[in-house]
Structure 1
Amino acid sequence: MQRAVEAAGIPTVSVSIVKEITLQVRPPRAVFLHWPLGHPFGEPGRPAQQRQVLLDALGLLETATAPGTLLEPGYPWKRHRYEGE
């Protein structure tokens, strides 16, 4: 689906929590977070954390220099303080 959207001229970014699958699928751009399944944008009730993931994904649209770019911001689960918290 992501490739079809890209073929229509609309850039996309995946947010992934399973790196092995992301490497196999090879989306045009992806943000990988080593977080639990079901929580690709972070913990429930932490809007600052979720906003940061969204900003990272949107930023990748501007900073990716090659197809298949995989950004790994390295945020730890439940230990990092985000702007606005």
Structure 2
Amino acid sequence: MGLIARIIEAAGISTVCIVSLKPIAEQVRPPRTLHLAWPFGHPLGEPGNRAQQLSVLHAALQALATAEPGAIIEPGWRWRREIYTPPPDWLGEGKERL
């Protein structure tokens, strides 16, 4: 994943990788990394936990916009021990839900 991200970055497109294993990210060195120490198969969070998933996507997009290349961002969220509130701009107030 990190190797592909570096090739995409070389073409001028910014990337961020969401990873579960920090040591692998440190070796492969993706351009920007969001590290979440969560179980494999759940990179965006628990199934059906919309607020958690939106929080992960928001953090990834923030890293894409603000993190320097080579940065590993660690939000510090703990698996099934946090209460997530979706970012306010993403609630879709007044819009039809998908």
Structures share fold, TM-score greater than 0.5:
yes
The normalised TM-score by structure 2 is 0.81
Percent identical residues: 53
In structure 2, give the amino acid aligned to 1:25: V
Alpha-carbon offset, residue 61 of structure 1: 1.5
For 1:1-85, list aligned pairs within 5 A. 1-65=4-68, 67-84=69-86
Structure 1: tracts of 5 or more residues without a match: none
Runs of 4+ in 1 over 6 A off after TM superposition: none
The normalised TM-score by structure 1 is 0.92
In structure 2, give the amino acid aligned to 1:9: G
Q: Matches of 1:71 and 1:25 in 2, distance apart? A: 15
Cα-Cα RMSD:
0.9
Structure 2: tracts of 5 or more residues without a match: 87-98
Larger relative contact order, structure 1 or 2 (CA cutoff 8 Å, min sep 6): 1
Higher radius of gyration, 1 or 2: 2
Alpha-carbon offset, residue 39 of structure 1: 0.8
Alpha-carbon offset, residue 36 of structure 1: 0.6
What is the count of residue pairs matched by the alignment? 83
